């Protein structure tokens, strides 16, 4: 029996979103949400029927054309033209999981009853979601200011029978999709096109998707670092509770506690033959990983607020009997947060690459490049090159997008957030970090074998046992990228109990 999640005005959480996507749940409107949508549309229709004055985007043009009045007979055509003209994205396709998130988040936002849309429009979007219909959306084109105009236009073109969609891994014209399901195109009414296009669901969907991956990666960074500590014959002293208590940042305390738990019972960590101090990349794991956790938590709080907000324009308040045009579509909160996320998470790869280097450098009794007969074999020399290249790329990607602004719409939209670019590159950074962490695991698993017969902790030995089912110990040179790809898939398959919100 299929599970159903009912959309209500109650806030969406990361846990709820993840369960909807991972468990393949259907979604449906609650009676409360349906009533809110109907109430708002009914009030808006009466308002337009009773009054002659201009209301932005409803009976006027858009952006710099806001002073151009539109006749009542053209109001529907105005909204249709909006979708057609704004669907001018470029670049590669947005990942389909992100597009599904865009649909979910927009449905939730419209269900709050402040956007003036038809009930059947929201119900058709739910039909798309439940039937696995994924509109083709392109990655580039949003300024993240008047909402995510271009990507959202692509998302909603199929309502009219335009654009392209994915159905069961096959791409089709939206007109063919409507025929296949026996649906008529939606005839947009006053305000609807603007309600669909104004909003931050492109940025928000990328943010949610990236954060869910980041929660897992942050926990795995600790796990892999703990294995590297034992592989390097590092010390447990920098992780003691009393040391953290005199600088009690939440992430630092959590990281040190996690490392202590991961190494509890390790024969290697408790051995006496230790250097006086470890390099910063080992000794400062609580401070670096911890600061990243604190940054992730901050970003998650911003995103949590955003996905439960009304971000189109103008916003209809039926209870207060007013329509207000403002700037809730401006992506600055997300742009700044996503830039911060990219900067913070890139540090996990930066410090990881340094641990990778120390493991292959021939220190502390480990063979140079972690392989027998170095010279004949290059061993793990070049995976460190790959990690260094990826870390360097992340430094470029982590340059903030939000510090830029290019005016548009004849200077009517004279400050923009560039949050769309912040969103897409944040995901690229997280994907890169995952690759570097995979290379560290590949190295650490190799290095720890040179500590035998001493054993690590039960947790880490279990990790190694599972890992060795996928990636074997390297005795002599072989094609390494295949082993790295296996390691990435291994990490992606693990849960790590990582969801933080």
Q: Is pLDDT above 60 for 63?
A: no
257-277 tens-digit pLDDT: 999 999 999 999 999 888 889
- Evaluate whether 310 touches 114 at the Cβ level (below 8 Å): yes
pLDDT of residue 55: 64
Assigned domain for 315 exists: yes
Is residue 248 located within the same domain as residue 370?
A: yes
498 within some domain: no
Same domain, 193 and 213: no
Q: Are residues 146 and 269 in the same domain?
A: no
The boundaries of the domain holding residue 69 are: 4-199
Where is the domain boundary, 158, 181, 199?
199
Dist CA 18 CA 212 (whole Å) = 8
Give the separation between CA 161 and CA 169, rounded to whole angstroms: 19
Q: Judge if 223 and 77 occupy the same domain.
A: no
Express as a percent the part of the chain with pLDDT over 70.
Answer: 94
424 and 305 inside one domain? yes
Q: What is the mean pLDDT of residues 430-453?
A: 97
CATH value at residue 331 = 1.20.200.10
Query: Are 170 and 316 members of one domain?
Result: no
Q: What pLDDT was estimated at residue 71?
A: 60
Same domain, residue pair 467 and 333:
yes
- 434, 213 Cβ separation under 8 angstroms: yes
Q: Look at residue 395 and tell me if it is in a domain.
A: yes
CATH (domain of 114): 1.10.275.10
Number of domains in the chain: 2
In-domain check, residue 501: no
Buried b (16+ CB within 10 A) or exposed e, 64-86: eeeeeebeeeebeebbbebbeeb
Same domain for 182 and 271: no
Task: Verify that 184 and 295 share a domain, yes or no.
Answer: no
Catalytic amino acids?
A: 56
For residues 244 and 294, membership in a common domain is answered with yes
Task: Give pLDDT tens digits for 163-196.
Answer: 999 998 999 999 999 999 999 999 999 889 989 9
- Residue 288 and residue 183 share a domain: no
Task: Please check whether residue 393 lies inside any domain of the structure.
Answer: yes
In-domain check, residue 500: no
With contact defined as beta carbons under 8 Å apart, do 138 and 91 qualify? yes
Q: How confident is the model over 225-240, as a mean pLDDT?
A: 97
For residue 426, tell me if it sits in a domain.
yes
CA distances from residue 474 to 108, 453, 468 in whole angstroms, order as listed? 50, 18, 11
Q: How far apart are CA 134 and CA 154, in angstroms?
A: 11
Does 501 have pLDDT greater than 50?
Answer: no
Domain closes at, from 199, 223, 254: 199
Q: Measured between alpha carbons, how far is 157 from 85 in angstroms, rounded to an integer?
A: 10
pLDDT band of residue 367 (cuts 50, 70, 90) is: very high
**Phi and psi, residue 372, nearest 5°:** -70, 150
In a domain, 401, yes or no: yes
Clarify whether residues 211 and 259 are in a common domain: yes
In sequence order, which residues have a C-beta less than 8 Å from that of residue 133 and are 6 or more positions away? 127, 158, 165, 166, 167, 177
| Domain closes at, from 199, 221, 247 | 199
Q: DSSP E strands: which ranges in 286-360? A: 315-317, 322-324
């Amino acid at each position: 029996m299929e599970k159903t999640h009912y959309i209500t005005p109650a806030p969406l959480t990361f846990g709820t979103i993840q369960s909807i996507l991972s468990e393949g749940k259907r979604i449906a409107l609650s009676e409360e949400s349906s009533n809110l949508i109907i109430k708002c549309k009914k009030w808006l229709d009466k308002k337009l029927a009773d009054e002659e004055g201009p209301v932005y985007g409803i009976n006027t043009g858009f952006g710099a054309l806001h002073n151009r009045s539109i006749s009542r007979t053209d109001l529907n055509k105005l909204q249709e033209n909006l979708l057609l003209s704004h669907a001018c994205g470029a670049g590669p396709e947005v990942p389909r999981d992100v597009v599904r998130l865009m649909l979910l988040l927009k449905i939730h936002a419209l269900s709050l009853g402040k956007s003036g849309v038809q009930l059947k429009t929201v119900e058709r979007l739910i039909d798309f979601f439940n039937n696995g219909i994924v509109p083709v959306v392109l990655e580039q084109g949003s300024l993240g200011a008047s909402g995510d105009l271009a990507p959202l236009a692509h998302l909603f073109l199929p309502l009219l029978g335009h654009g392209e969609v994915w159905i069961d891994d096959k791409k089709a014209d939206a007109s063919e999709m409507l025929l296949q399901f026996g649906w008529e195109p939606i005839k947009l009414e006053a305000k609807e096109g603007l309600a669909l296009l104004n909003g931050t669901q492109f940025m928000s969907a990328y943010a949610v998707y990236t954060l869910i991956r980041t929660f897992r990666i942050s926990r795995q960074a600790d796990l892999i670092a703990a294995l590297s500590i034992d592989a390097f014959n590092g010390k447990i002293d920098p992780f003691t509770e009393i040391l953290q208590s005199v600088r009690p940042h939440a992430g630092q305390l959590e990281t040190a506690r996690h490392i202590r738990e991961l190494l509890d019972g390790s024969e290697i960590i408790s051995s006496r033959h230790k250097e006086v101090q470890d390099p910063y990349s080992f000794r400062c794991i609580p401070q670096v990983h911890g600061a990243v956790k604190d940054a992730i938590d901050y970003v998650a709080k911003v995103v949590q607020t955003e996905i439960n907000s009304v971000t189109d324009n103008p916003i209809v308040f039926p209870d207060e009997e007013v329509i207000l045009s403002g700037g809730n579509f401006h992506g600055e909160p997300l742009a700044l947060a996503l830039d911060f996320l990219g900067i913070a998470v890139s540090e996990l790869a930066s410090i990881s690459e340094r641990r990778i280097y120390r493991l292959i450098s021939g220190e502390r009794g480990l063979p140079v490049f972690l392989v027998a007969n170095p010279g004949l074999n290059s061993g793990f020399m070049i995976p460190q090159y790959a990690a260094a290249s990826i870390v360097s790329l992340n430094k470029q990607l982590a340059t903030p997008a939000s510090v830029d602004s290019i005016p548009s719409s004849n200077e009517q939209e004279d400050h923009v957030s560039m949050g769309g670019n912040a969103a897409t590159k944040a995901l690229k950074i997280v994907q890169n970090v995952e690759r570097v962490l995979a290379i560290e695991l590949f190295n650490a698993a190799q290095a720890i074998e040179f500590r035998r017969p001493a054993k690590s902790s039960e947790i880490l030995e279990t990790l190694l046992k599972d890992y060795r089912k996928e990636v074997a110990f390297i005795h002599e040179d072989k094609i390494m990228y295949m082993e790295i790809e296996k390691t990435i898939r291994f990490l992606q398959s693990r849960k790590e109990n990582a969801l933080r919100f």
